[in-house]
Amino acid sequence: MAKKLKAAGVPTAVYYPLPLHQQTAYGSYPTASGTVLPVSEQLSRGVLSLPMHPYLDALTQDYIINAVVASA
């Protein structure tokens, strides 16, 4: 989807490619099942951030929405 959105001129980003329990800062914190949190790990592999800021006008929002729908 990221490639299709880029081709349509819609920027995307992945801000947190690792779930929190795998990041160095949280390495010493206990987890519910040791070191494996399968839902968090699966979600981190599929997350994609779309443009979001207070200056996004309605026309641009519609363009992004339509690009996401077309990319699905």
Tens of pLDDT, residue by residue over 16-72, are 888 888 888 887 887 776 667 888 889 998 899 999 999 999 999 999 999 999 998
Domain that holds residue 55: 1-10+41-72
Residue 23 lies in a domain: no
Long-range contacts of 46-55 (CB under 8 A, 24+ apart): 47/14, 47/16, 48/1, 48/2, 48/12, 48/13, 48/14, 49/12, 49/13, 49/14, 49/15, 50/5, 50/10, 50/12, 51/10, 51/11
pLDDT for 30 equals: 75
- Asked if residue 64 belongs to a domain, the reply is yes
pLDDT of 7 higher than 90: yes
Residue 34 is predicted with a pLDDT of: 64
What is the number of domains present in the chain?
Answer: 1
This prediction has a pTM of 0.73
Q: Is residue 55 part of a domain?
A: yes
